[in-house]
Structure 1
Amino acid sequence: MPALTSIRTSEGKLEIVNQLLLPHTVEFIEVSTIAEAYDAIKSMKIRGAPAIASLAALAVADYLTQNLQRASGPEWFGSVDAFREHVNVILTYLFTARPTAVNLGAATRRLSRKLQSSIDAGKDPRAIAQDLIAEAKEIDAEDVGRNKEMSKHGGEWLVERVKSQGGSGEGLNVMTVCNTGSLATSGYGTALGLITYLHETGKLQRAFYTQSTPYHQGSRLTAFELQSLNIPSTMLCDSMVGSLFQHHNIHAVAVGADRIARNGDTANKIGTYNAAVLAARHNIPFIVVAPVSTVDLEVADGSGIPIEHRPAIEACLVRGALYPTTLDANGVKQQATVMVTPEGLDGVYNPSFDVTPASLITAIVTEKGVAVKKEGEDVFDLTPIV
């Protein structure tokens, strides 16, 4: 099976894999406008904090490239002030697509800073556009390298921790939540990257992953990625985590993050907090793996992290392939969306994320290293890893 990817650019086209159809259908859809990029992020055709940041940046680059190629150029190319106002409106619009994921905000702010620095340098709109295009492509390109760095840091830290407690550092069992692999990033992944690194270095025995309701990103996407990488793995429902910890030797839980507050409180896919509480009860290390761009030093603690609530209907529906498998005229698996609840429920609680307090987190890993709490403290000093 070819390497999985969430975004591809070729022949002047920007495309994403429609993650709502995975794992049964691999369909790439073109994103040719800013509005289409916004919709792809908002509707979760693409998801994962690093991936949506990359798409937003590349969509801006594609938009500017299209306008540079126009013979006369649009009206907002007519002055620096008009150009700045137009681009800032676009960046603000894209940022509102998914407010919890700090990477999206980091990407739009980075482009805004480049916009201002190019203006301050006295450049004209066309030159400023070229600077923004280069910066946007860099935002996407640097993701794979940093993912491999953090995966190595986290994997080696876990191996040494197990050894320090009398273990061999081999035959490790690691559980994860949601999807944090190549489909959630520009490649390799964060928490799933750590698991991949342990597999590649011969230290992993088995990966465990939760279904991750309500969108089943674990059972749909993580399962698909682990299968493609030939990594031994086992799926469990979100409510089975406690049972898993009771009956199996789990060496760590590794999760990603959509935002990390200054004290180490971490927002991640709903169900992460549950897993952290159970991990603490069973003395299992709980590791957060995320890029520096996910750390938001302007937010003191988890109470300041905005939590996105998805439409209630999403928690009532499940989409998948018909079973037994039914193929259409083109040999593609037929899929359907079904309702698993009574119609007209008057109350549905459907947050996308929860916040795990720093006190339940053992280590936070970025591409710059591993942070642990000082003895007797419940919060992190993230200074060395941001």
Structure 2
Amino acid sequence: MEELKSFYFKDDILYILDQRRLPHEEIYFEAKNINDVAYAIEDMLVRGAPAIGCVAAYGFYMGIKDGLDVDNVYNTLYHTRPTAVNLFWALERMKKACLNQKNLLEEAQKIEQEDIQANLSMARHGASLIKEKSVVLTHCNTGALATAGVGTALGVIKELHKQEKIDYVIADETRPYLQGSRLSAFELLKANIPHKIVVDSSAPFLISKGIVKAVFVGADRIASNGDTANKIGTFMLSLACKEYNVPFYVVAPTSTIDFNAKSFEDIPIEQR
């Protein structure tokens, strides 16, 4: 099976898989400058907090390479998406690297490689939490389409499948953008993982009936007290899991933690 990549960088062009066209078409958008990258983030050609951070890092490099000043580059990318803290983490890191006269392309590549390794570590650790073959549920899309590697929550599910611990996966639709039915199902199909798509509102019922043995979700931002912002619909899943004693796992890299946010009240929520 050919490896699924949400983006790749080659010959000073950032190729970004246009996820608006999935699952019907696999078309890569060619981002040749910082404005192309900003467009791709803002219009959701690329989505998923880790992937956004990686793409923004390459966009930062492209802006500086084209002769723009640091503040202009930073601000152009900063205002694209409000919730995914990985974006701001990556921009701060690239700005610091620029001021310290580091090689910016190497720094962007390092951010990508670190995410790939973090994905693998999370997948192995998360899979160790499930001891027997189970039905698991996931929300939104947290796989290769949302990261530089195998994924966060969906990465755990892929590892569980490798270890033959998956009976089948329940992917809820994740309205209104349908990241579950369009994107997670697309990834699960490519990976030959048994799965079923359900409407969002049915998920708590399935949890209540004991069908779901664990829920794995990702995160857009985690506050310093552990409060987590994720795709709309995550809250009802956490409440259902609490009520029926079903394990609920948030899978995210440390770059998703916002230590400046004390609680959920400090996390800006995107309205679209």
TM-score (norm 2): 0.96
Shift of 1:141: 1.8
Matching residue of 2:142: 180
Matching residue of 1:259: 221
Q: Structure 1: how far apart are the matches of 2:119 and 2:19? A: 20
Matching residue of 1:367: none
Matching residue of 2:77: 94
Matching residue of 1:44: 44
Paired residues of 2:12 and 2:32 also in contact (CA < 8 A): no
Q: Which moved more, 1:179-188 or 1:5-14?
A: 5-14
Match of 1:183, SS state, is helix
In the alignment, residue 9 of structure 1 is paired with which amino acid? F
Matching residue of 1:136: 108
Matching residue of 2:212: 250
TM-score (norm 1): 0.68
Matching residue of 1:234: 196
Shift of 1:246: 3.1
Q: Structure 1: how far apart are the matches of 2:147 and 2:54? A: 8
Matching residue of 2:165: 203
1:293-304 matches, within 5 Å, as 293-304=255-266
1:52-67 matches, within 5 Å, as 52-65=52-65, 67=66
Alignment of 1:224 with 2:186, yes or no, is yes
Q: Structure 2: how far apart are the matches of 1:91 and 1:137? A: 18
Q: Structure 1: how far apart are the matches of 2:184 and 2:239? A: 22
Q: Structure 1: how far apart are the matches of 2:267 and 2:60? A: 26
Alignment of 1:111 with 2:73, yes or no, is no
Matching residue of 2:231: 269
Larger radius of gyration: 1
The count of corresponding residues between Structure 1 and Structure 2 is: 272
Matching residue of 2:32: 32
Shift of 1:248: 4.4
Q: Structure 1: how far apart are the matches of 2:86 and 2:17? A: 20
Residues 284-306 of structure 1, C-alpha deviations (whole Å, 9 max, x = no match): 11100000000111111111100
Matching residue of 1:194: 156
Q: Structure 1: how far apart are the matches of 2:44 and 2:171? A: 20
Which blocks of at least 5 consecutive residues in structure 1 are unaligned?
A: 68-73, 77-85, 119-127, 160-168, 311-386
Which blocks of at least 5 consecutive residues in structure 2 are unaligned?
A: none
Q: CA RMSD in A?
A: 1.4
Q: Structure 2: how far apart are the matches of 1:5 and 1:248? A: 35
Match of 1:269, SS state, is coil
Q: What is the aligned-residue identity percentage? A: 42
Q: Structure 1: how far apart are the matches of 2:72 and 2:10? A: 27
Q: Structure 1: how far apart are the matches of 2:47 and 2:245? A: 31
In the alignment, residue 33 of structure 2 is paired with which amino acid? T
Residues 21-47 of structure 1, C-alpha deviations (whole Å, 9 max, x = no match): 000000011011211111111111110
Shift of 1:249: 2.5
